[in-house]
Amino acid sequence: MTVTAPDRFDVVFAALADPTRRSIVRRLADGEATVLELAEPFPISLPAISRHLKVLEHAGLISRGRDGQRRPCQLRPEPLIEIAAWAEHTRAAWEHRLDRLDAHLRRSSDHTPSPPTPEEP
Amino acid sequence: MTVTAPDRFDVVFAALADPTRRSIVRRLADGEATVLELAEPFPISLPAISRHLKVLEHAGLISRGRDGQRRPCQLRPEPLIEIAAWAEHTRAAWEHRLDRLDAHLRRSSDHTPSPPTPEEP
DNA sequence: ACGATAGTTAACGAGTCTGTTAAACAACTG
DNA sequence: CAGTTGTTTAACAGACTCGTTAACTATCGT
């Protein structure tokens, strides 16, 4: 257990920070696959894949079922939606701030030599 | 020198995997800020902040200028757009695959049970 | 029950974060 | 010039990550 509460985004971004895991996620977007099928394109050992899958599962990016001795993996898109929304929201805030700055500069072009960085009241 | 070419997304996702750095990014969406201003909300030392900023800069998420002895930081939204697009694209592929599966099931059986994802009218 | 197939856990090493403190560098100020 | 403010670099410790191999569990097929 970690002392500080682990943000949900921490584990999702960290999971996607690895190229192997992103590749697995991308692969699972095309449909369910077993561990061996997922491992096939990569030059690394099966235990390494197994741990990557555990990381993805822990991040909520995949879920695993049971089919005999196989453990098929499925993509769970919710975290993808969340991080896309976060990135988009942050970008939108940035753009909105630029708009406000632009409007401010437009207004104060006559007199009122205000500082270049307008603080929000 | 790194042996394997480091994917651009690796460094962006890794940069955003840290809550302090995400918080800084979020803060910069509201406008330019100096290192001291960015450090103020956090209980960690200034060198730690400086290194976080270096990581963000290396990921292309911020750029830094010069204003006397200050080094003001600015958000660069391009990487945010890229990862949002990646997540959305992956999610879209997943959804499309479900649509195809649904259509296939519809075609290949007469008495189709109620589909689990009621998306089509 | 046996062996083959599918996957996980254990133990370990190399390398990479993240934080610290102390010291340095850079630019403004008196 | 000296002192102060803003920021970075150096050196180091602790934790985590990613890979390995060896051994283990679980399920299928005969």
Residues whose CB falls within 8 Å of the CB of residue B20, separated by 6 or more in sequence, listed in order:
B42, B44, B49, B52
Tell me the pTM. 0.86
A97 and B CB contact within 8 Å: yes
CA–C1' distance B107–D15 (Å)? Answer: 54
Chain A residues near residue B2 by CB distance under 8 angstroms: none
Q: What is the mean pLDDT of chain A?
A: 86
CA angle B40, A113, A107 (to 5 degrees): 95
Protein CB footprint (7 Å) on chain C nucleotides: 5-11, 17-23, 26-28
Task: Give the whole-angstrom CA distance, residue B76 versus residue A72.
Answer: 39
Buried b (16+ CB within 10 A) or exposed e, B37-65: ebbeeeeeeeeebeebbebbeebbbbebe
Q: A35 or B113: which carries more pLDDT confidence?
A: A35
What distance lies between CA A41 and its chain's CA centroid?
Answer: 23
B90 touches chain A (CB under 8 A): yes
Nearest CA in chain A to B16: A13
| Pairs across A and B, CB distance < 8 A | 94
**For A79, nearest residue in chain B (alpha carbons):** B87
Which nucleotide is nearest to A69 if distance is taken from CA to C1'? Answer: D27
Strands B62-64 and A73-75: unpaired
Residue A107 pLDDT: 67
With bands split at pLDDT 50, 70 and 90, how would you rate the model's confidence at B114? Answer: very low
Whether A35 and chain B come into contact, CB under 8 Å, resolves to no
C-alpha dihedral sign at A48, A15, B40, B68: positive
| End-to-end Cα separation, chain B, in angstroms | 55
d(CA A70, CA A44): 20
In the 3-class helix/strand/coil scheme, how is chain B assigned residue by residue? CCCCCCCHHHHHHHHHCCHHHHHHHHHHCCCCECHHHHHCCCCCCHHHHHHHHHHHHHCCCEEECCECCECCEEECCHHHHHHHHHHHHHHHHHHHHHHHHHHHHHHHCCCCCCCCCCCCC
| pLDDT tens profile A28-74 | 999 999 999 999 999 999 999 999 999 999 999 999 999 999 999 99
| Residue to substitute from B20, B74, B80, interface A, most A β-carbons within 10 A | B80
A16-30, A49-63, B99-113: which has the minimum mean pLDDT?
B99-113
- Tell me the sheet residues that pair with B91: none
